């Protein structure tokens, strides 16, 4: 079990107690609007919760002193190269962790570049989801490209603006805490 603790948030693996919040996220037309998957029915959300995607790590985002899931973030370890895709970042509306999406990403990247041995992490947002640009750059990702018609949701194809971080360059802007996580020294346990 890996738990990553940052200044404001904690990432822990999903557990069965997270199903209600998971359903709330994936059945919401608002929260799924820009995601790469369509809004789910409650039954489909349950099936998806109990059918993990191979090579995908999914973490609940919580505060330090309350284990309740306030959001989630995932990392898909790709088979080609030493590449991983950050995916499915969500923070619940009204959460005390509002504004912490980038911090959650940074913790995950520190873990990826350290204990997971990943060299490159990328992430993307729908080209029309422009507010994500600041979340991406705050997480230490740099703009790369636009991928045309990458995914199909809500009945149409969407272009995706991509960002990436490579290990050495990301470490240059990492905090001491993030570097310690990347070195496997603190606050990350498997």
How near is the Cβ of 7 to ligand COA at its closest, in Å?
Answer: 14
Nearer to ligand COA, 146 or 185 (CB): 146
Q: Angle 19-26/42-49 helices, nearest 10 degrees?
A: 130
Nearer to ligand COA, 114 or 124 (CB): 124
Nearer to ligand COA, 10 or 125 (CB): 125
How near is the Cβ of 136 to ligand COA at its closest, in Å?
Answer: 8
Buried b / exposed e along 1-27 (16+ C-beta atoms within 10 A): eeebbbeebbbbebeeebeebbbebbb
Residues that bind ligand COA (CB under 6 A): 31, 34-35, 89-91, 98-102, 125, 129, 131-132, 134-135
How near is the Cβ of 42 to ligand COA at its closest, in Å?
Answer: 19
Give residues with Cβ within 8 angstroms of 118, minimum separation 6.
77, 82, 83, 84, 112, 167
Return d(Cα 131, Cα 138) in angstroms, integer.
12
Among all residues, whose Cβ is closest to ligand COA? 101
How near is the Cβ of 98 to ligand COA at its closest, in Å?
Answer: 4
Return d(Cα 7, Cα 173) in angstroms, integer.
16
Reduced to 3 states (helix: H, G, I; strand: E, B; else coil), residue 144 is strand
How near is the Cβ of 102 to ligand COA at its closest, in Å?
Answer: 6
Return d(Cα 76, Cα 70) in angstroms, integer.
21
Nearer to ligand COA, 102 or 184 (CB): 102
Nearer to ligand COA, 98 or 148 (CB): 98
């Amino acid at each position: 079990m890996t738990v990553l603790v940052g200044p404001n948030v904690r990432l822990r693996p999903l557990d069965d107690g997270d199903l209600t919040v998971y359903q709330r996220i994936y059945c919401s037309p608002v929260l799924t609007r820009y995601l790469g998957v369509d809004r789910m029915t409650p039954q489909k959300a349950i099936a998806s919760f109990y059918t993990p995607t191979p090579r995908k790590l999914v973490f609940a985002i919580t505060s330090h002193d309350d284990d309740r899931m306030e959001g989630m973030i995932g990392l898909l370890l790709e088979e080609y190269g030493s590449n991983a895709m950050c995916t499915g970042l969500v923070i619940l509306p009204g959460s005390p962790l509002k504004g912490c999406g980038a911090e959650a990403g940074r913790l995950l990247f520190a873990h990826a570049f350290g204990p997971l041995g990943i060299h490159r992490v990328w992430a993307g947002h729908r080209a029309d989801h422009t507010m994500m640009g600041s979340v991406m750059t705050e997480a230490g990702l740099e703009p790369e490209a636009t991928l045309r018609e990458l995914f199909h949701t809500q009945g149409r194809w969407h272009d995706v603006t991509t960002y990436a971080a490579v290990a050495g360059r990301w470490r240059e802007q990492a905090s001491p805490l993030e570097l310690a996580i990347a070195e496997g020294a603190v606050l990350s346990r498997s």
